[in-house]
Chains A and B, each alone.
Chain A
């Protein structure tokens, strides 16, 4: 198969680059080795603090609603952290705008939503909290399986049963100005959370749950749909296994499923993520990039990869593939002309691009726009 650009990695960076290139009229394919880190997305683009109209418009075209406010948002364990650009599911409180009285509503027996921690976190900030548990009949069947009281499964039920939650909340609500609910609404689109906000006569805040993240999965679904509507080829569950190179250029990629049928392209984007996603590999001796054998910025002595304090910054999480200023990959010190790198496989090698979802967006925009101009 011949394409303009082959993108390796179907997470936020890969999909963003793919959509931008398809929009620019380029033919692309995305190789996605299974689902991706959007499934664990907090909804916050942590490092994006500048005004971000471009990002908001870009996502709006895919039906993903972002908003930008300066303020703090409520983390699932009750901490308040500075936030700016985020999914609309994540409420951002302006300075002095925290709730004063909140009703926290959880489902009985749902352990992935941390109501008591949320309450304690808010109470520290002077917000009085009341926690109530509700039961929805439709959910009872889910309980028969000891392992499946999960955000996603609840969300599927809630697509039909959300009105019951609204009714229960309306009965429970007294003089609270805010209602806090788990992020288990709107797996396919953000219609349900909007309706819930409309029907409850108080500010509604959706607080995160243990992954998988419902808004994250929805975002991935919407971006993928957008990409495919624009004509992109999304190879889900496939995996790049080797690359053909021709001098300083990559000529094709072979995948696990398409053996004997290499994907040829003018340009390639490597967006395979960090260690979790296998963008980087490690053994006791070294850290390496497994597909191309690119140069990696990493510490040699494994003793230095870690900080014994779990809560501190871990050096290994900053390891990443080396690139030139235009994010072209380096191998044995030489630039590979048509291989660009985006997303968290960059680690902390480009601090100006931020980290996490912010890094994914910025680097994907950068490489896609470069390729589109060529």
Chain B
């Protein structure tokens, strides 16, 4: 036996050097004094919780799960994982009806989509918002994402043959947002990939990645989704397909959270699951070419979503955007916009949510771009609502710029 050749601990919590850098970058600490901060909630709290679950602190629910503490940590401690895992392990209070509804994005989507015009009109009404605010504690300032009348899946299924004709193929995990709220992003992706000679397939019935369930105390349901998704991803990977995505959060959830928080082994599919921006960048780097419009002009400010920051793949979106002739590019300071999925929808978090994003909104106004680019749908809602600037996925910008 080699003595203490290496040491290990749950989510690396013993590697914490108590340097406090994590709290310096925590967006919640800056606005919500009830939150104990990532260091206390994470590695410090873990020692106490190991002694007795009694020391679990309910205020851990204020964690956004933005992962900025992990990105900042110089010691490789999975601070946010520690916090979310503690919530899963020790917080047995049942999630509220509101949280269940907010978390069940695909259920809500499939319910609402057929009645999209009505639902959109109703959720957009001031009176509905007030009712939701009062009964469900969903903040009335929020604009609900609109539901699309026709799902992306239906759109792509109708083009199955045409897509199959392409010499190369990828599968697309579109996520709830593209399917129910904004099929245009999926269509844009198809356009860009087709231009590269790549056809797009659907997965064999994907489910919501489950992140909203994880953070809303529904880890059992999330685990079911994870097991299902890993299986359908696996089928695509077995066929030799890469799976692309257009949401940084879905990607991070399936690549990182499945094993770390839900204990679902994704090793067979992880390396084949890529954000479309990375996939496209790598194709171009390998020699593929895209033809751009000569008259394209756009002032773009890129916002790195928190989960993109954690994935470390913002560089691909940035480089793709910079590659487009006529794009005037600004990289916004890396900061959380405050929405963090369902977090900002909750009435109790509204103020904190807006305060967190304030610096980012200010910078966007100062840059005054034609469009803000970002790979996350919830950031899009937040930034559009808070600044009035239009927000687009880099894939959509790429699609528009194609000749």
Contacts and interface: CB of A to CB of B under 8 A. Distances in A.
Given A150-B23, A257-B311, A33 B40 contact: no
B19 A40 contact: yes
23 contacts: A1-B315, A34-B73, A36-B74, A39-B21, A144-B34, A145-B33, A145-B36, A147-B37, A147-B39, A153-B29, A211-B20, A212-B21, A235-B312, A235-B315, A237-B70, A237-B309, A258-B312, A261-B278, A261-B282, A276-B74, A277-B74, A278-B75, A285-B3
B54 interface: no
A34 B39 contact: no
Chain B at the A interface: SS class? loop
B310 A34 contact: no
B394 to A, nearest CB: 16
Interface in B140-165: none
Contacts of A260: 271
A217 interface: yes
Interface of B: 2-6, 17, 19-21, 23-25, 29-30, 33-37, 39-40, 70-76, 271, 278, 282, 285, 309-313, 315, 331, 333-334
A153 B36 CA distance: 13
Contact of B23 (A148, A237, A261, A277): A148
A250 B73 CA distance: 28
Nearest to B312: A257
Interface string A188-223: 000000000000000000000001100001000000
A259 interface: yes
A128 interface: no
A168 B380 CA distance: 43
A16 B19 CA distance: 23
Given A147-B40, A255-B312, A39 B24 contact: yes
A333 interface: no
Contacts of B17: 276
Contact of A35 (B39, B40, B74, B311): B74
A241 B101 CA distance: 41
Contact of B315 (A37, A225, A233): A233
A284 B4 CA distance: 7
A276 to B, nearest CB: 6
B312 A34 contact: no
Interface string A6-45: 0000000000000000000000000001111101100000
B86 to A, nearest CB: 16
Interface in A128-162: 141-148, 150, 152-153, 156
A283 interface: yes
B8 to A, nearest CB: 13
Best-surrounded residue of A36, A37, A145, A284 (most CB of chain B within 10 A): A145
B271 A259 contact: yes
A225 to B, nearest CB: 8
A33 B315 CA distance: 16
A276 B73 CA distance: 12
Contacts of A142: 33
Nearest to B29: A148
Contacts of A277: 74
Given A34-B21, A34-B75, A143 B312 contact: no
A303 to B, nearest CB: 15
B352 to A, nearest CB: 12
A81 interface: no
Contact of B30 (A143, A146, A153, A257): A153
A173 B74 CA distance: 41
Nearest to B2: A285
Contact of B33 (A141, A211, A228): A141
B309 A236 contact: yes
A245 to B, nearest CB: 22
A25 B30 CA distance: 39
A145 B75 contact: no
Contacts of A148: 23, 29, 33, 36-37
Contacts of B33: 141-145, 148
Contacts of B74: 33-37, 39, 276-277
A238 interface: yes
A316 B29 CA distance: 36
A302 to B, nearest CB: 11
A239 B76 CA distance: 9
A312 B33 CA distance: 40
A15 to B, nearest CB: 14
B337 to A, nearest CB: 17
A156 B23 CA distance: 13
Nearest to A225: B333
A35 B74 CA distance: 5
Q: Give the 5 A-B residue pairs with the shortest CB-CB distance, closest first.
A: A257-B312, A237-B71, A144-B33, A34-B74, A152-B24
Contacts of A236: 71, 309, 312, 334
B4 A35 contact: no
Contacts of A278: 75-76
A35 B25 contact: yes
Best-surrounded residue of B33, B40, B74 (most CB of chain A within 10 A): B74
Nearest to A143: B33
Given A1-B285, A212-B21, A34 B29 contact: no
Nearest to B73: A34
A147 B26 CA distance: 13
A283 B6 contact: yes
A283 B278 contact: no
Best-surrounded residue of A2, A35, A36, A225 (most CB of chain B within 10 A): A35
Interface string A358-374: 00000000000000000
